[in-house]
Amino acid sequence: MQALSPSNPISHLRSSLPRRPAIATRVVRCIYRSDLVNFPNGIGTNRADWQSSCAILKASSKVISHEDKPTEGGGTDHVAAVNGHNSATDLNLVPIDASKSSTPAAPQPPKPLTITDLSPAPMHGSQLRVAYQGVPGAYSEAAAGKAYPNCEAIPCDQFEVAFQAVELWIADRAVLPVENSLGGSIHRNYDLLLRHRLHIVGEVQLPVHHCLLALPGARKELLSRVISHPQALAQCEHTLTKLCPQAAREAVDDTAGAAEYIAANDLRDTAAIASSRAADLYGLQVLAEGIQDDSSNVTRFVMLAREPIIPRTDRPFKTSIVFAHDKGTSVLFKVLSAFAFRNISLTKIESRPHRSSPIRLVDDANVGTAKHFEYLFYIDFEASLAEVRAQNALAEFTSAATLWT
């Protein structure tokens, strides 16, 4: 588990890949490899060389050329240099028949990353790349822009893909939801925080304003169904009953994805609950705005990075920890007392099943052996790990509990 103000640092990669240079005629994709690869013509096997040369991993590379044509000899073209390194690697070039091309289509929003896309790519330049779950127009995209203005937002089709995008240096940061003021905690991301070795380096809160979207010309009274993320449907339940009581509700993966699905399939009897930006992106009209049942609908997002920030005492900090105890929930009182005694405010307490040992057997004189559930406890508190009071609070109970920060 990581902290908004950092914890004990875990060893991470310290450098960032340069950004991929803009090449008009070739797109190079590579498959991630963890083993060392020897490149000819002076490209070595150290990390720096690997990072700048990963785009030419031998037969794993695919090259799509818009201009080059295959030679008569073997249908290959020679790539003389990549990222400033001479290379004798020959790559197969696939020609594109210009005669089959028609009028250029309108530019489409970027497609979400999938697990098969997670191969490291060189990055050149200083623009921050931020991964989020969903498709363009999602609330997570807006949160990424609020957390890191002018960033390059990278859509991912799953929460775990966003974690992996940062770990594999495809993205510099990830912005993911952990809590909604109406729907509560997003448990999936709490579990992924322990599974992946990223650090929480900040948080951002985003007000959520839901809109009812449909194809142009659609009418509320003629809708047969409304699709959206399960939490969005729950947050608009009463309003939907008033606007279109005849419409069935159907859950999909995300809000903007629902809008994209309606536009792509020309569904004139279906509406989506999504943002107004999704309506602009996918050519839908807004049938109703602000349809959430509670106007105070806010989602809290955490900002994740490969390396922690340094704890300080000159400004407010929030720290996140997670702990478990072999004696079960009895330790929870001791933990809360350690913080209360030092006047440290807790802002969040969350419990999740302890997956490595979910059940504990204890002896009971009355009924014999009983089974108790084991939990992990997530706690957010308002203090920096650089403060003595926070250090003393953690030291008080870490001798008896397993702690992640």
Place of tokens 């250090």: 391
Instruction: Give yes or no: 159 in active site.
Output: no
Distance of CA 196 to the CA centre of its chain: 12
Q: In the structure encoding, which two tokens stand for residue 210, read together?
A: 């839901």
Helix or strand holding residue 176 (H, E) = strand 173-180
Q: Are 167 and 306 in contact (CB under 8 A)?
A: yes
Q: In the structure encoding, which two tokens stand for residue 62, read together?
A: 């695919």
The whole-angstrom separation of Cα 341 and Cα 16 is 42
Place of tokens 């127009």: 137
- Residues of the chain by 3-state class (helix, strand, coil), percent to 5: 25, 30, 45
Please tell me which residue in 89, 255, 270, 299 is annotated as part of the active site: 299
Q: Are 322 and 200 in contact (CB under 8 A)?
A: no
Q: In the structure encoding, which two tokens stand for residue 340, read together?
A: 């209360």
Q: Looking at residue 314, what DSSP letter applies? A: S
Burial 70-92 (b: 16+ CB within 10 A, else e): eeeeeeebebeebbebebebebe
Place of tokens 């279109």: 244
Please tell me which residue in 301, 317, 323, 377 is annotated as part of the active site: 301
Distances (CA, A) of 326 to 16, 320, 330, 339: 40, 21, 10, 21
Instruction: Give yes or no: 299 in active site.
Output: yes
Q: Provide the 3-class DSSP secondary structure of residue 262.
A: helix
Number of Cβ within a 10 Å radius of residue 12: 13
Going by C-alpha positions, the residue among 234, 262, 260 that lies closest to residue 249 is 234
Supply the residues annotated as catalytic.
299, 301
